[in-house]
Amino acid sequence: MLKKRIIPCLDIKDGRTVKGVSFVNLRDAGDPVELARAYADQAADEIVFLDITATHEKRKTLAALVEKIANAINIPFTVGGGISTREDVSVLISSGADKVSVNTAAVLEPELITRLAESFGSQCIVAAIDAQLIEGEWLVCINGGRTVTQVRALQWAEEVERRGAGEILLTSVNSDGTKEGFSTEITAAINNRVNIPVIASGGAGTMEHFRKVFEETSCSAALAASVFHFGEIMIPDLKRFLLKNNIYVRC
């Protein structure tokens, strides 16, 4: 049985870690290099770095900061934000990223996923899907959650797998930052549609929320930010709690 992964997320704006609610009302959460080093020491399974304003501000992800973080940790490292070309991916991998996360550019040009998977391998390509529930339909959001498209999240998940993405990072915009729990409905639905790993994201507030998403869906990992950044949940404590509840995690 594959063990479940616990993944802290560093949302980056202007070189600092930030966190908001439903992608707005951001507040500072600390130095990303120091946080990344602390999470690696706490036995986090991976770290995700998302430059959340790169696409909106029409610039590239901060490669120098990526390199500093990569040099400070010894666990898998996924980077996203403003990625739209093979060259972008090459720069980030050269800077120390193990995987890249693509969102807006892939929604606007789905062939991008195909090209990147062919060039770098599916294991390197994470399709980030920001999904928002609107009038009973889960729709894909782009531009850091600012723009709602008419792309349906379930169908998009199937397409990114078909095009070669090796993993999906699924964030519920409705739940993001609320600390009211993961959106298990859309997480389970997408898990049932695809055969690649799905990371659940958005809404973690308690250890019980992690237990619930692992028990009620087939997600391979759960990602959180503020509960880790502000010391509300310590990763070793969370892993012990999950093990006690018969959810197998890496120690």
What are the boundaries of each domain within the chain?
5-244
Tens-place pLDDT, residues 37-95: 999 999 999 999 988 665 444 445 688 899 999 999 999 999 998 899 999 999 999 99
CATH architecture of 5-244: Alpha-Beta Barrel (3.20)
Q: What is the per-residue pLDDT for 53?
A: 63
Catalytic residues: 11, 130
- Predicted TM-score (pTM) of the model is 0.92
Name the least confident of 52-61, 125-134, 177-186. Answer: 52-61
Average pLDDT score over the chain: 91
**Statement: residue 27 has pLDDT above 80:** no
Following DSSP, what letter does each residue of the chain receive, concatenated? Answer: -PPBEEEEEEEEETTEEEEEETTEEEEEEE-HHHHHHHHHHTT-S-EEEEETTTTTTT----HHHHHHHHHH--S-EEEESS--SHHHHHHHHHTT-SEEEE-HHHHH-THHHHHHHHHH-GGGEEEEEEEEEETTEEEEEETTTTEEEEEEHHHHHHHHHHHT-SEEEEEETTTTTT-S---HHHHHHHHHH-SS-EEEES---SHHHHHHHHHHS--SEEEESHHHHTTSS-HHHHHHHHHHTT--B--
% of residues, the chain, pLDDT over 90:
78
The residue that leads in pLDDT, 150 or 17, is 150
